[in-house]
Structure 1
């Protein structure tokens, strides 16, 4: 796949040159120094001009400086600026304006400190290294040594200390072999630069055990090549660069980040996303795939930043200053985590500070943030029902249950709740086909604070029951969201009915019910047994230390799959449950006359091409017996897993489970309708979204 050069496809300038052009201000607290290095590799001829028997490179170093006093770095020389304007076809603006752009790094300032983590930066094809100046200054202001490399003859102009200016000998016709040669050659450039630094007067400034690399466009794709050939590079970033030299087995086990345009790199729909997808499969370590909305190729660089100040239209809807801020924030967070060992929440899940950034894929899954305004706490509750033997292991003369209780918390501070234990994660992933460590889901990022102090009392309670073989945690995102809106939520783990469940004393219960033939009698036993579990949980919670948290007159229930199907039997058996919801669960215990007069809602995935036709026949059967408030909503493009954390994790890992609507979108729809349903039925607050579909994907069947 051809890597596009950084095209400045511009409309006529809207403004004349402004002498006050500026780069982004560094966000760190350290002054920044810079110096230019001339390096000469005599071990190889230049790849683009073979008559030159060596490879010449210009490198800019940026570093934390002692309080500096001296001239600021020139952004570009006039020759470089003219070459950039000429290549882009920009007229009407004197190139000299780029020589006056205000920078913050002081030339040849005295370095401060030593053994700095280092980041090598590589610019896009045809672009001088100046395009990454803001990023370089920002990293240096946070304590990094930045090594910004100009790849001679691969950009429109490189200025050497003796006054020579080389042009773009590599420019011309571009096929796949050309781009592969470019990427591999840049990897050699980077290794040579690192060798040179390690044996120069700058060596004390460099910590050779903490080196990372990032680049823009082909500089980003070259990062993969450099990491494969040079193990000194511990972590890498591709910023908006399409890969032409695929990463081959055994792949790469060091951390890697893709950061690019949403329009081009969204998995499955972005026209260049396939090249990232191919490499994604070969990345075996920590990895992220992030896309940014509203940006274009120059948005990640200073050419976008300065061009926008000149009134040039690149076609971006997100301002260049914002694009640069996003780039700096995520690049810095990545290297802080992987070179300095400082965990960065910004890399765990989407951030409200940067709504333009989407986590397209991740190796460390996360739950989307709750939509309510209350912090969320949760705790694990162990319950033992001595009134009955276990229905699946009759030799156990009691029924043990684990319940996760979610609630509004007094504070958002504290350690987050563990999603699954390592044993539960291994059990759930055992037959998934995912090539991930068995404890991956034990590291999933949640939003609730473990054992936080509750806030409030007399809250409406919603009981949640998960699908068959699925641990209770798979409804965690829904539970957290309800709690953030002021609900207490009891999320039940039905022992021996899921892949595996851990108990506080270290015991682990597998799926004993999985060994039983799954005929109609089995499913009816499962639903009726869950109804008993729910009543026991309600008895226990309302007679425990948690009783003040719960308003016993405002209890609802919802579940997914067999958990949803169990809601009707539970409501029939227990009048305390005032309202119920079945999320995509076929029912096996028919609702018999006189039916159910309490509010009920079906929410499921659309079965065919036409909404509601065909509909689930068991829902049609039970619908006629619902005599109170009722709704039936279908979600187009969703699949069974879409309504749970299983779908979310699948999307985050890049698993195709047949959904056309993303799990994140289905999660938004599910949260909206579940919260609205209980707000109306338990709180008496009318919800218009229950009267008419609030999403284009949703159809009301009845």
Structure 2
């Protein structure tokens, strides 16, 4: 999620920051290059980007008559020879991340790191390995771009899944569309506490997910559309759980630390549970959180879902904090080791847990869940 202070600063900055500023925000070659952990599966990985346009669905954040979503699709590759390795972020997105996400949202270093230099382990447009494969969608946390979910997506793809990470433009801090346009966050500054805007955010995400599901059959990759799951972080985790409830085409979902309730429309009233928390589910859901970010709202809304019984389980990672489920779980540790980030800021972001423990734990938790629910 986010704090009201950081959200106000972010939204105000996004509205006024001139593109010329970005030209002066690029890193030098001498700056630290952060590295993503290598995937452990037997398959090499291909990746492609795809912009989908839903004609006739008005974009709630910028008011255009059509709605865009931007995807990265990770998949097992037949060969990667001769196909370039994809960067984690495009240069324009990395420049904006450096002076926007890093400074105001995550307390990351804005100097000394070359955010554009981080490479993935995936090769652009490499040919796909034959054979239909289970599909997993990913929705990122509020404000965070889909690029911060690269590590887990690559891990799943290396073990035989096709993983589609989704940006929700207008709400995402920055996303570069296939046209080259850098779409920046447009949610009003009141979004952090406005229950109407927060509901609009979730309903927009759910409509994005439904649209992507409807377009899977048009993607030229060997997708097994009978075996589709979803996971997400924070607001994306809440989206994943509720999307499972609303779409019978989804077989299972993981909620990585997302609330399952809405803030009340009338002050003083209790929070309103999401339909999945109100009514339960007959399909598998995993609720995964951290001890550092746990609060009464999680206990209340997650317990409501658990109370219905059914195939729902809850797990918790200790010595950890909210963004440990993203690539920042390893990046923050590298920044601290290089003397570019304090131990306090790292702990607030991802906890004190070492990446050597957190990365395998998260990967095993996510992969084993989908192995159980999508491989059968």
Write the deviation string for residues 46-70 of structure 1: whole angstroms up to 9, x where unpaired.
12122x0011111000000012122
Describe the shift of the 1:333–1:252 C-alpha distance in structure 2 as closer, same or farther (beyond 3 A).
Answer: same
From 159, 175, 183, give the equivalent of 2:202.
183
Query: What is the correspondence of 1:193-272 to structure 2 with a 5 Å cutoff?
Result: 193-202=212-221, 205-245=222-262, 246-248=273-275, 249-265=278-294, 270=296, 272=298
Matched residue SS, 1:233 = coil
CA distance in 2, matches of 1:96, 1:159: 21
Q: Give distance in 2, aligned partners of 1:7 and 1:327.
A: 29
Task: Give SS of 1:201's match.
Answer: coil
State TM-score, norm by structure 1. Answer: 0.44
Q: Which residue of 1 aligns with 2:17?
A: none
Structure 1, unaligned runs of 5 or more? 10-15, 342-702
- Give the number of the structure whose alpha-carbon radius of gyration is greater: 1
After superposition, residues 524-673 of structure 1 pair within 5 angstroms as none
- Asked if the contact 2:77/2:127 (under 8 Å) is kept, the reply is yes
Deviations 1:226-267 (A, max 9, x none): 1122111110010011223423343321100011112333xx
Following superposition of structure 1 onto structure 2, how do residues 125-524 of structure 1 map, counting pairs within 5 Å? Answer: 125-173=142-190, 174=192, 175-202=194-221, 205-245=222-262, 246-248=273-275, 249-265=278-294, 270=296, 272-282=298-308, 284-311=309-336, 312=341, 313-315=345-347, 316-341=351-376
- The 3 A distance-change label for structure 1 pair 53 and 143 is same
Aligned residue number for residue 11 of structure 2: none
Could you tell me how far 1:298 is from its partner in structure 2? 1.4
Q: What's the CA shift for 1:149?
A: 0.4
CA 1:321–1:157 in structure 2 vs 1: closer, same or farther (change >3 Å)? Answer: farther
What is the aligned partner in structure 1 of residue 2 from structure 2?
Answer: 4
TM-aligned CA deviation for residue 325 of structure 1: 2.2
Q: Deviations over 1:414-459 (max 9, x none)?
A: xxxxxxxxxxxxxxxxxxxxxxxxxxxxxxxxxxxxxxxxxxxxxx
Cα distance between partner residues in 2 of 1:64 and 1:7: 42
Alignment-derived partner of residue 28 in structure 1: 41
- Kept in 1: contact 2:259–2:297 (CA 8 A): no
SS in 1 for 2:346: coil
Larger RCO: 1 or 2 (CA < 8 Å, sep 6+): 2
Q: Deviations over 1:583-629 (max 9, x none)?
A: xxxxxxxxxxxxxxxxxxxxxxxxxxxxxxxxxxxxxxxxxxxxxxx
Alpha-carbon separation, structure 1, partners of 2:287 and 2:3: 18
RMSD: 2.4
TM-score scaled by structure 2?
Answer: 0.81
- Counterpart-to-counterpart distance in 2, 1:7 and 1:17: 33
Equivalent residue, structure 1, for 2:95: 82
Deviation digits for residues 72-122 of structure 1 (CA, Å, limit 9, x no counterpart): 111112332233333342586448711111310011000002321011001
- Give the number of aligned pairs: 326
| Separation (CA, whole Å) in 1 of partners of 2:138 and 2:366 | 11
- The 1:120/1:6 distance shift into structure 2, 3 A limit, reads farther
Mapped to 1, the partners of 2:371 and 2:5 lie a distance apart of: 31
Q: Which runs of 5+ in 2 are unaligned?
A: 8-28, 263-272
Name the residue aligned to 2:26: none
Are the structure 2 counterparts of residues 323 and 133 from structure 1 closer, same or farther at C-alpha, using a change threshold of 3 Å?
same
